[in-house]
């Protein structure tokens, strides 16, 4: 089968590998669509925390935001060949203390698809444990299903804090996570403001219905918000998020910033009674995310950028690295011929 291989820092290649062999309790899935995100770009550029701490090593196959069709099953009747599925990124052991206590996302023997210890979905086929699969309902197309993985992280963020009616809520960073957060938060009785840098992404947020979407202005926007979702995954965005907090406010970190903050006013954090929440993925929310796409509360509008066949993965990553690309989500279509867009399934 054809796969996208990252063979060294900056090297994205089309490779050939054997189709993964049968294993108990696993499924072979033909991949229809794969979304690429900042974590994948970090694997290409070499700055990924998984590469730095040795969990990931080249060569590797990226791709953790995917949808496909079951081809073969080993030891299960839960799914049937031909069924459309998405797969959880986190593969848990079901045996450790955390798993046994119902806190699977804290599993101490974790593997993550396309990140470490499990090849990703930027390939014609992927083999994963059947327990990691979630069926895609009718009415959710492949473009939407490939967005379920970032959506579950946003849903986890929304479980961290009560979103009170009338609250002033800010989302920082209108990338994929930020746009999905905006779409959900627009359903709440709150005043929603978006802060970002790219004019096209900010215009998209205004079209979606945000009251304001513009650059963060410390003079105007400091100490003004009850709840701030940091989705840019940058230290600068995180600093703006801190400044935006009112007394008693909460900051929820969804994006993953690397590096250290230049300033952290610990006294203000304590005296202003701020709460900080980190979001460690949302593996419990896949069915809810699919349901929200089925209901039309989430959709792919304003989110999708171009889609590429596997043979043009290097171009896909180049576009992903371009911060002026507008709509954020770049995708790969493993079954697509060169230059072909995918068919809309269901
Ligand atoms: Zn991702
Ligand atoms: Zn475990």
The upper half-sphere exposure of residue 293, i.e. CA atoms within 13 Å in the direction of its Cβ, equals 27
Q: Among 201-205, 248-252, 326-330, 340-344, which stretch is predicted with the lowest mean pLDDT?
A: 340-344
Return the pLDDT at 338. 42
- pTM more than 0.85: yes
Mean pLDDT across 224-246: 97
Lowest mean pLDDT among 70-74, 167-171, 286-290: 70-74
User: Residue 339 has what pLDDT?
Assistant: 40
Give residue 23 CA to ligand 1 midpoint distance, Å. Answer: 26
Distance in Å, CA 268 to ligand 1 centroid: 33
| Span 118-122, average pLDDT | 96
Q: In this structure, which ligand is nearest to the CA of 177?
A: 1
Residue among 194, 217, 213, 215 at smallest CA distance from 203: 213
Whether the predicted pLDDT of 213 surpasses 90:
yes
Q: Is pLDDT of 336 > 80?
A: no
Kindly give the distance from the C-alpha atom of residue 106 to the centroid of ligand 2, in angstroms, as a whole number.
7
Residues above pLDDT 90, as percent of the chain: 90
With contact defined as beta carbons under 8 Å apart, do 146 and 31 qualify?
no
Nearest to 67 by CA among 261, 290, 265, 230: 290
Distance 73 CA to ligand 1 centre (A): 26
Centre of ligand 1 to C-alpha 148, Å, is 10
Cα–Cα distances in angstroms (integers) from residue 69 to residues 72, 83, 202, 259, 330, in the given order: 9, 5, 35, 39, 21
Q: Ligand 1 centroid vs 249 CA: distance in angstroms?
A: 28
> Is residue 343 pLDDT above 90, yes or no?
no
Summarised one tens digit per residue, pLDDT across range 58-116 is 999 999 999 999 999 987 788 999 999 999 999 999 999 999 999 998 999 999 999 99
Percent of the chain with pLDDT over 70: 97
Gap from CA of 92 to ligand 2 centroid (Å): 5
CA 105 to centroid of ligand 2, rounded, Å: 8
Considering every ligand atom, which ligand is closest to the CA of 131?
A: 2
Cα 98 to ligand 2 centre (Å)? 6
What protein residues have CB closer than 5 angstroms to ion ligand 1? 37, 39, 65
């Amino acid at each position: 089968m054809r796969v996208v291989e990252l063979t060294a820092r900056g090297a994205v290649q089309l490779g050939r590998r054997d189709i993964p062999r049968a294993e108990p309790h696993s499924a072979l899935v033909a991949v229809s669509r794969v979304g690429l995100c900042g974590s994948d770009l970090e694997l290409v550029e070499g700055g990924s925390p998984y590469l730095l701490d040795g969990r990931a090593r080249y060569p590797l196959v990226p791709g953790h935001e995917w949808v496909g069709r079951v081809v073969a099953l080993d030891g299960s009747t839960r799914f049937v060949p031909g069924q459309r599925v998405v797969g959880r990124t986190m593969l848990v052991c079901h045996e450790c203390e955390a798993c046994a206590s119902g806190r699977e996302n804290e599993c101490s023997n974790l593997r993550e698809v396309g990140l470490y210890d499990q090849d990703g979905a930027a390939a014609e086929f992927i083999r994963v444990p059947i327990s990691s699969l979630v069926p895609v309902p009718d009415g959710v197309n492949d473009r939407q299903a490939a967005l379920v993985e970032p959506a579950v992280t946003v849903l986890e963020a929304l479980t961290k804090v009560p979103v009170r009616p009338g609250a002033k809520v800010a989302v920082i960073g209108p990338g994929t996570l930020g746009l999905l957060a905006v779409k959900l938060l627009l359903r709440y009785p709150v005043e929603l403001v978006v802060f970002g840098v790219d004019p096209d992404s900010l215009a998209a947020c205004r079209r979606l219905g945000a009251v304001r979407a513009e650059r963060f202005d410390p003079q105007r926007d400091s100490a003004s918000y009850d709840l701030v979702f940091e989705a840019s995954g940058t230290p600068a965005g995180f600093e703006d998020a801190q400044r935006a907090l009112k007394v008693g406010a909460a900051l929820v970190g969804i994006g993953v910033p690397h590096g250290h903050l230049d300033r952290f006013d610990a006294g203000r954090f304590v005296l202003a009674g701020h709460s900080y929440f980190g979001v460690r993925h949302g593996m419990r929310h896949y069915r809810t995310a699919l349901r929200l796409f089925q209901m039309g509360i989430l959709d792919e509008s304003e989110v999708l950028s171009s889609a590429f066949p596997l043979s043009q993965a290097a171009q896909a990553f180049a576009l992903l690295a371009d911060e002026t690309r507008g709509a954020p989500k770049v995708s790969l279509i493993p079954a697509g011929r060169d230059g072909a867009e995918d068919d809309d399934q269901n």
